[in-house]
Amino acid sequence: MASPTPKATPKPSPSIGLSTSSSGALVDKASSEAKSATPPPKGTAPKGVKYGLDGRPINSPVYAGEAWFAPLKPGETVSQFKKTQYYKGAGMTYFQTLNNQKKIELLAQLAQIPGAYSNKKDIPTASYLKNLATSGFVTVRPEDVTALEKIMYQADTVGENVADTISRFFNNPKLAQQTLDASGLAGRKVSLTPADALRVEFTQAITDFLDTKADKKLADSYVDTINKLELKRGGNITQLERETLLLDFVQKQAMTMFQGDKQPDSLLMQKGAVGGAYNALKKTYDAYGVPIDDKTLYKQAIDGVRSRTALENAIQKVAVQAQVAFPALAEYFKQGLTTKEALATYIGIKSKIYGVPENSIQISEMYPVFKGKELMSPEEWQKYLYTLPEYKKTKVYQQQTFNDAAALMRNFNLL
């Protein structure tokens, strides 16, 4: 069967000014956030100001990482920011917007997220949910609201909608366990990353990127920077920020290491260049589905900041490799689309059937969709996914089985 006619999709365009994050910029930003992290004493807060679950006013900015878009130059990134939106009482408000069926579905999801309920005795059981369903009246307990607001707090730390955070934790119980069991609302005791662990992290990064020994003073400075940021954030520092800071310190050592070997188009003096180059390369390889080992990626990132031309050539080479690897997408590539963009319809189908976020699906998982120089039709792909043993392990299959059983019981007046 011939490949579906490719349609051009609009290119993403940045809506925020260009920037590259450096450790100094992040610490400065954290300092200003820390000043507003604690609400004014009771009775002194401006009228009309509503504070969120993290202790800051609603609509406070949340750093969501760096992004690279095709129109940007290699090494340049766009800072992404979201806003806090959840407050004490938002949990009940959210429940009130749902009908009885949706309330039960949400309670069933919360019940399967490790750490959502602080007391295991409060976790809704299957029999409890069944009784709610047959009663025709769904009672939302304070414990349920607290569990939901616990997840709302986490949603606001990364700028997500709570539905996305629930889905993320529901599909990754291990992540939920690690995140929620150690979390709480504003005012919890701050836990700092051990200094030795941070030194090992920095030393390993220097070995990976530069293949040399880590500078001890820079290692100590990295530890100090991370711990100060954790203190100012109440322990809340995202993985994206931590990675950005780590790569900035790698760049500092690279600047010293290559100071006598500066090329005309070097990016070493540009703040955030290593992080920008690394992320641009990583996202390019991911978008085109071209495999690469970590060591090669590290080397290309360093070569890329030593020479902008080297970075541009590396990115262009990925597109060429994809054309060879995926001949079925030749027409899409001619339109300037990446492999992920070309397979968007198929990725969306798998996301819906398997109940996983689209951005978590790797191109390597999509290989069966290729039939030589052609693609399966969307219908063939959907039928293929239903035949896989993994499908019976999905939440979607389990929920459908539950729904089918419930419908059968209703037909026989057993429910």
- Computed on alpha carbons and rounded to an integer, the radius of gyration of the chain in Å comes to 25
For 190-234, write each residue's pLDDT tens digit.
678 899 999 999 999 999 999 999 999 999 999 999 998 888 766
Position with higher pLDDT, 349 vs 12: 349
Which of 284, 308, 301 is CA-nearest to residue 250? 301
φ, ψ at 163 (rounded to 5°): -60, -40
Residue 300 burial by CB count (10 A; 0-12/13-18/19+): exposed, middle or buried?
buried
- Can you give the pLDDT at residue 134? 83
Residue 342 confidence class, pLDDT cut points 50, 70, 90 = very high
pTM of the entire predicted model = 0.54
> Mean per-residue pLDDT for 274-282?
92
Which pLDDT tens digit goes with each residue over 155-170?
888 888 999 999 999 9
- Taking residues 238-244, report their average pLDDT: 84
- pLDDT over 70 at 402, yes or no: no
Averaged pLDDT for residues 383-396: 80
Confidence of residue 239 (pLDDT cuts 50, 70, 90): confident
Looking at residues 325-345, what average pLDDT do you find? 94
- How high is the pLDDT of residue 415? 47
What's residue 245's pLDDT?
Answer: 92
| Tens-place pLDDT, residues 88-105 | 999 999 999 999 889 999
Query: What is the per-residue pLDDT for 30?
Result: 38
Q: Considering the chain, what is the average pLDDT of its residues? A: 80
pLDDT band at 32 (very low <50, low <70, confident <90, very high): very low
pLDDT band of residue 375 (cuts 50, 70, 90) is very high
Domains of the chain, by residue range, sit at 343-401
Local confidence band at 249 (pLDDT 50, 70, 90 cut-offs) = very high
* Averaged pLDDT for residues 73-84: 71
